Every structure is written in structure tokens, then in C-alpha cells.
């Protein structure tokens, strides 16, 4: 568990953030991860959220298979004629400027630890100029008092902030209630998560996925805020992406296979036959690199975000070269935060940015957006996936 969010004076006492060129408030103390399940007597939602954080942070819920980004071999440029300082990583996502093409993907909320995680990571995203995603707002719909666990605007007044809700939940909600939930947390945009795999593997999860597309159409037409649709580790195919773009969705996070497996996480929480089904399907999904390559080749009219196993600056560069506009990460940021507090998460993200800058120079590209034009060779299993793109 991470200790409650530290005030500034505490930050000075423990030296937090002062060794960086930007100041980030540090949690007072961070106890290293212990791979335990939450106490069985804890309320259901608290228990589920705690289990998710514990299992995900430990890596026990990660895919064994690769996201295939290693199949993108960028071609070295021995005569770059560039200074590292000239490399520009700035970009836009849904019209908002980012200092680097990175987003901290939606993770959590609804619990005390979730509140600390949201405020700490949002503050880091603000300082680094990245986009930030809240975890699913569902807990605060059931219990309005939990809204505080998603409210990060004091820590991150100008971060590009995504509120997050599942499609099944949104289908049950009036558009004006969705708008109120976003208003309540000060979100700029809505992230709609698709998670049929997770729900089927989750004890007591949803079984009825009808009406989703009509909901997405309605929200695109009436919400008055930009919408990004994301998967949660199983990936988005070209047919689904085209359908979403035709419905008016301007951004899609593919959240492909190869990073966090939600079927895998739920399999670890389930019992009996349900756990067996989860174990059988824990590697289910389209690898992240295949999704991005497919969507770019299909000319899908939406901004593409790549998440699912992006772990290094080189991974990020490879995803951008395939056609992503921005990359997003969840598990490694959470793991770094649990390991070494705000300092650890900041250092981790700064390392991704640094690595991405180096790769831009090594392929001779001054602007990160030009990575999409950098010469590359597609190797191994990824070559097969890209050669057999379904229509």
C-alpha cells in the first residue's frame, strides 16, 4: 500500500522530487509490493480493486506471449546530421498538445490507495506534459462519496484528463449522467473501455454485450466531449476500428495482447470451472503491434494510441513507427510507483522519453511524428500478422 498523498512540507522533509528538474509530490512511504489478495472481509469493490492492483503490479497477470513490437526493426541512420537537442517529441492527441507522445493509461480509483495513485500519477503527467487516464469511474456511480478518489485537478490543473467508463455501464446511463460524471472529476474527454474478455472471466461479470455500438454513436453525437474507445488487453481489429470511426470515434487505443492480460488477472481471482476457462484463454487477443500495423494499413480515420506491453522508449518508437500517434502504459507505471513512489514512476517515464529521443536521432528523424516514415524491416511473427490483415 502507498501511504496517503504527502503535502508539500512533507515532500521537502523526505527529499521527494527535489532531485528532479521538476517537483513531484512524493507519497510519504512506499512499502514494496507483496503478492497478496485483499482481506476476504473487505467490501467487494475494495477487495476487487486491491486484487487487481496487487496482481497487476506483481506481473503475475502479464501475458506470456509477446506484443510483437520486437518485429519492427528500425533501420539505423549512421549520418543523422542532428543534435539530440533538436529532436522534438511534442505532438497532439485529440487536438491537445503533449510534450511527448505518451499517456498514463487508466488504472484505478474508488479506494484510498486508488486516490493516492490517481493524484500522484496525474501530478507526474502534468509535470511531464503527458496525458492521464483515470480508472473506471464506476465505483463513484454506485457510491458518490468515492468521487474524491478520482479528483486530481488540484494536483494536475491542466493535464489532458480522461474519465473512464465501461461500455456495458454506459449503455445503462443517460448521456447527461455521463456528462455529469465527467464534470465531477474535471475530465476533458471520455475513455470508453471494451472488456468482453475480462467480464467473461470475472466472477459475476457481464454476460450481455448488446447495444454497445448504439451507445457509442449516441455519445459521439451528444456528449460534447471527445471520446476515445479502448480495449483492455485483447486488441482492436480493423473491422471494429472502422465501425468505431464510422460511428464518430476520433481516437482508438488498441490495448493489445502482450502486456497486461485481464483474462489472466481474473483467472487468478476466480475459482473452479471459471478459473479453468480463464487459464485456457489468458493469452487471448491480437498482439499490440499487429493491431497498430493493421489499423494504419487499413487507413482507419481515427488517431491510434498503442498500449499493451509498451515498456521501453524503443518499444514506443516501434509503435509510433507502425502508425500510432501516442503510446500508453499502465502496468509498468504502477509497478514503478509501488516500488519507489513518485520518484520511481517519474524516473521510469523520464527514461521512456529519453529512450524515444535517442531512437529518433538514431533513425535520423527530427520530429517524433516522422518516425512513421522511418525505414524499417518487419520480421518474424509480426510479418505474418501484417501479411494476413483481415478486411
Given the rule CB under 6 A, which residues bind ligand FNR? 52-53, 56, 105-108, 135-136, 164, 191, 193, 230, 232-233, 255, 259-260, 307-310, 329-331, 334
Output the smallest distance, CB 261 to ligand FNR, in A: 9
> C-beta of 56: minimal distance to ligand FNR in Å?
4
Compare residues 274 and 288 and give the one whose CB is closer to ligand FNR: 288
Instruction: Give the DSSP letter of residue 75.
Output: P
Nearer to ligand FNR, 321 or 328 (CB): 328
By DSSP bridging, strand 102-104 and strand 326-329 are parallel
| Cα separation, 316 vs 386, whole angstroms | 19
Q: Which residues pair with 179 in a beta bridge?
A: none
State the nearest-atom distance from the C-beta of 173 to ligand FNR, in Å. 16
Measure the CA–CA gap between 167 and 173, rounded to whole angstroms.
10
Could you give the CA distance from residue 253 to residue 231 in angstroms, rounded to a whole number?
A: 7
Q: Decide whether 53 or 244 has the Cβ nearer to ligand FNR.
A: 53
Residue with the CB atom nearest ligand FNR in the bound state:
259
* Category of 285 on φ-ψ map: left (φ > 0), alpha (ψ -120 to 50) or beta: left
Helix pair angle (288-297, 380-387), 10° resolution: 40
Task: Give least dist CB 390 to ligand FNR, A.
Answer: 22
Kindly tell me which of 228 and 386 has the beta carbon lying closer to ligand FNR. Answer: 228
CB 197, CB 170: distance < 8 Å: no
With a CB cutoff of 8 Å and minimum separation 6, the contacts of 15 are none
Closer to ligand FNR by Cβ: residue 254 or 371: 254
The CB-of-124 to ligand FNR minimum distance in angstroms stands at 15
Q: How far is the CB of 155 from ligand FNR (least distance, A)?
A: 19
Least distance from ligand FNR to the Cβ atom of residue 61, Å: 7
Q: How far apart are CA 342 and CA 105, in angstroms?
A: 16
Beta carbon of residue 152, minimum distance to ligand FNR (angstroms, whole number): 14
Query: 16 vs 61, which CB is nearer to ligand FNR?
Result: 61
**R_g (Cα) of the chain, nearest Å:** 20
Q: Is 104 helix (H, G, I), strand (E, B) or coil?
A: strand
Give me the least distance between CB of 168 and ligand FNR, in Å please. Answer: 12
What are the E-state strand segments in the chain? 72-74, 91-93, 96-98, 102-104, 131-136, 160-166, 189-193, 227-230, 251-253, 303-306, 326-329, 376-378
Query: 113 and 341 in contact (C-beta within 8 Å)?
Result: no
> Residue 261 has which C-alpha cell?
492480460
Enter the C-alpha cell of residue 193.
473501455
Instruction: For ligand FNR, give the closer residue by CB, 141 or 361.
Output: 141
Q: Which is nearer to ligand FNR, 11 or 193 (CB)?
A: 193
Nearer to ligand FNR, 6 or 56 (CB): 56
The 10 Å Cβ neighbour count of residue 385 is 19
Amino acid at each position: 500500500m502507498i501511504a496517503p498523498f504527502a503535502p508539500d512540507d512533507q515532500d521537502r522533509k523526505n527529499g521527494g522530487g527535489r532531485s528532479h528538474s521538476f517537483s513531484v509530490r512524493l507519497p510519504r512511504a512506499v512499502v514494496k509490493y507483496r503478492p497478496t489478495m485483499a482481506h476476504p472481509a473487505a467490501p467487494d469493490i475494495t477487495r476487487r480493486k486491491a486484487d487487481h492492483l496487487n496482481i497487476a503490479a506483481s506481473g503475475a497477470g502479464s501475458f506470456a506471449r509477446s506484443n510483437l513490437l520486437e518485429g519492427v526493426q528500425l533501420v539505423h541512420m549512421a549520418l543523422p546530421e542532428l543534435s539530440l537537442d533538436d529532436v522534438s517529441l511534442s505532438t497532439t492527441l485529440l487536438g491537445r498538445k503533449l510534450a511527448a507522445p505518451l499517456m498514463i493509461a487508466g488504472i484505478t480509483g474508488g479506494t484510498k490507495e486508488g486516490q493516492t495513485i490517481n493524484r500522484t500519477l496525474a501530478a507526474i503527467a502534468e509535470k511531464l506534459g503527458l496525458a492521464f487516464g483515470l480508472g473506471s469511474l464506476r465505483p463513484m456511480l454506485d457510491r458518490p462519496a468515492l468521487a474524491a478518489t478520482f479528483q486530481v485537478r488540484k494536483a494536475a490543473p491542466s493535464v489532458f484528463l480522461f474519465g473512464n467508463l465501461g461500455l456495458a455501464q454506459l449503455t445503462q446511463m443517460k448521456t447527461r449522467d455521463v456528462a455529469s460524471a465527467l464534470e465531477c472529476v474535471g475530465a476533458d474527454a471520455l475513455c470508453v473501455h471494451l472488456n468482453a474478455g475480462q467480464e467473461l472471466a470475472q466472477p459475476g461479470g457481464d454476460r450481455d454485450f448488446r447495444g454497445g455500438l448504439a451507445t457509442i454513436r449516441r455519445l459521439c453525437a451528444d456528449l460534447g466531449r471527445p471520446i476515445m474507445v479502448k480495449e483492455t488487453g485483447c486488441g482492436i481489429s480493423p473491422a471494429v476500428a472502422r465501425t468505431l470511426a464510422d460511428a464518430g470515434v476520433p481516437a482508438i487505443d488498441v490495448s493489445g495482447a502482450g502486456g497486461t492480460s485481464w483474462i489472466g488477472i481474473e483467472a487468478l481471482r476466480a475459482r473452479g470451472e471459471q478459473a479453468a476457462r480463464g487459464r485456457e484463454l489468458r493469452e487471448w487477443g491480437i498482439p499490440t503491434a499487429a493491431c497498430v500495423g493493421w489499423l494504419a494499413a487499413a487507413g482507419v480515420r481515427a488517431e491510434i494510441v498503442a498500449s499493451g506491453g509498451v515498456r521501453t522508449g524503443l518499444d514506443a518508437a516501434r509503435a509510433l513507427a507502425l502508425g500510432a500517434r501516442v503510446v500508453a502504459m499502465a502496468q509498468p507505471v504502477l509497478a514503478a510507483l509501488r516500488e519507489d513512489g513518485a520518484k520511481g514512476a517519474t524516473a521510469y517515464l523520464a527514461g521512456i522519453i529519453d529512450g524515444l529521443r535517442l531512437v529518433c536521432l538514431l533513425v535520423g528523424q527530427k520530429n517524433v511524428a516522422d518516425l512513421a516514415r522511418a525505414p524499417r524491416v518487419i520480421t518474424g511473427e509480426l510479418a505474418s500478422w501484417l501479411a494476413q490483415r483481415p478486411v
